[in-house]
A and B are shown apart, each in its own frame.
Chain A
């Protein structure tokens, strides 16, 4: 007979193994699904996971997608560690894209050396503002952070759409809802001649290390962890929940804003309505898959970026709708949460039948 027993100490092996197990289970689920709709599971998995890493161009594209995912996920990891349910990375990313683009267009053909840094700062500031409003509403009026950040995702999206239909539309763009292309001075430099990999990925990796350092080495990071793990204890110890909330939320907003402006000044080069294929939402999965550890998020972001690439390729090569990516993300999180059950519980095999 198989019994479920509570462990006396949480399993540190399962803490690490759980994400890997979840990925494996998701792939098995994928195979079953593809067989069910009459596609070859082997081919589908090859397209989804192997093909994106098959040549240097694809690897480059993988890094391009990884940048914004990681930037958002690092911020979210910190938020979730502090038990602040910020679901608003998508809106903060869009706000960053919008604010940064407005600045880039303002600079126009200016050859000022400050054009790019100021554009990036504008994007960061816009993301911070978009995170600041729900934070303020939560602290001042006790409103639910999950719902307000979600609402600000929608508001941000419509604001961006409005902007590309209105004030930021390219006058020479034949009425398409797009801005003009940015000039070279406001574009992020690429790292290698032949690929689109740009400075964004460097920002992302640096931010992951900074966040990791704060969390594990500093007193501030300790306070964040206490606050998230046990709020009454944080209050008892005298940590200021107000200060911590502001710092964490603004940090997350800044990173998401940077992700947004890096997209428009990087691979896209202009402001378009579909800046983000849901990076802000996927980053939630990345943060979880990385165990809410900023360094773990780096690995998780690689996996997620591969999945994004794979989704595009699967649509082109096999006619599988690209929505399969977000479905897989949901399944992955389900499996991860289920596997986490075994961090604190285990299966026990007993020989005796019920008595």
Chain B
């Protein structure tokens, strides 16, 4: 880090923001020097997102001052933030898929900025070459990969000569190789004097690239440190406090008999901008966890929907359970045969937001609770409160509405509900996404316990670390293709990372050709 002068780029003092029932930011103070890469660390719900949205003018703080380059400022909207030279890359990108790259960038610029720039497309091409971003101005955003979209967001900030770049969990959607590309860009920017505020929960990344770190817990600053002098473990301790147990290494198991088979599964995309599944083959054995890695949007949702039966199209002879074809059965009938699902979207798919937990239990678990078509509400209530106790779901009671629960608690409830049906096959997507460490640990242990009871589990996740921790065998998806399936012990992060980027695809199609000619 080069210190260009002694005036801080950004200084926050006593930022406080109260939401109904939650103090998101509690007297947060933070200083950022020019060229500094500063990590903002904390668990989900620690207040990181609220804080950066305050800096970017999306959220108005109740209290506190923002000092920008030595002057007190009031950032009432993102356009004011941009005029100051603050740019932000959102976790869920703020791009418009039906517009082109250059239209997306234009929307962020004021009239005067546009006039200064002159030919926007040319400027984009120029910057793209300078920073190695490889962004073409005329392309439609829906045709871009996740990594490319992120580069468009960064480009958005670069065209306005940004002085502070905020990135909200930028690496969670990238392959390991793309991450190192991103870090290259960030280092260049830092050397040019641009400050960077970097939200993450991946500790090894923080120690790799950040100059300083501020750790938030429960809306408060609990610590600051220089990451290079810390280890991931010591930082983790600061984030969660001393009490939390850590995920230890778990023993890997070998599956016994194949229960669920996917054979030559090909399926056209149903949604615009969706992914087409291309000739997928794998076998799921009882007593194992098969992990599928991949960057979001590479066919995971489509695969989940066709396996669960939510996608009602017929894929004759492509899906079989215990040796018999299930592709013509609807989602309800598949459930009756012993399949269960934990979807990525908890609220709005896995649970009905406006219904009580009791009703949400009945959502998928009706066996034994229906007599002559009538619901035995009394028994379901009792069973639900058992689930709540067993899985330590924090809520007011079985009458609580699903939407009143935190993400982690709702996930524990859904997990408990699905496991409670003793499924033969459990399909589980992103089980700990956005969940705090304690809940993640409970969820991991519940999955392993189910595996040890002999269930076959398909685990779809974007979190490579989690897959290596839990999966007995692994594969990756890219652009609707499935990589070879290998034992976890025999592979490493680098190989899976390359597969996530699709390096195996060429080989597959080449071998297809060989077979065709043979």
Contacts and interface: CB of A to CB of B under 8 A. Distances in A.
Interface of A: 5-10, 217-220, 222, 225-226, 229-230, 232-233, 235-240
A236 B366 contact: no
Interface string B334-363: 110000010101001111111100010011
Interface residues of B, number: 33
Contacts of B97: none
Contacts of A9: 401, 404
Contacts of A229: 352-355
Contacts of A225: 355
A213 to B, nearest CB: 9
A222 B401 contact: no
B321 interface: no
A217 B370 CA distance: 10
Contacts of A5: 20
B373 A236 contact: no
Among A6, A7, A230, A237, the one with the most B-chain Cβ atoms within 10 Å of its Cβ is A237
A233 B362 contact: no
10 contacts: A8-B20, A8-B21, A217-B374, A232-B348, A233-B349, A233-B351, A236-B364, A237-B363, A237-B364, A238-B334
B330 interface: yes
B310 A235 contact: yes
B322 interface: no
Given A7-B20, A218-B374, A236 B355 contact: no
A312 to B, nearest CB: 40
A218 B350 contact: no
Nearest to B351: A233
B314 to A, nearest CB: 15
Interface of B: 20-21, 308-310, 330-335, 341, 343, 345, 348-355, 359, 362-364, 366, 370, 373-375, 401, 404
A233 B310 CA distance: 10
Nearest to B404: A9
B355 A226 contact: yes
Contacts of B351: 233
Nearest to B341: A236
B331 A235 contact: yes
Given A229-B352, A233-B349, A238-B334, 7 more contacts: A8-B21, A219-B362, A222-B375, A226-B359, A232-B310, A232-B348, A237-B332
B365 to A, nearest CB: 9
Contacts of B21: 8
Contacts of A8: 20-21, 404
A232 to B, nearest CB: 4
Contacts of A235: 310, 331
Contacts of A232: 310, 345, 348-349
Contacts of B308: 236
Contact of A238 (B330, B354, B355): B330
A226 B363 contact: yes
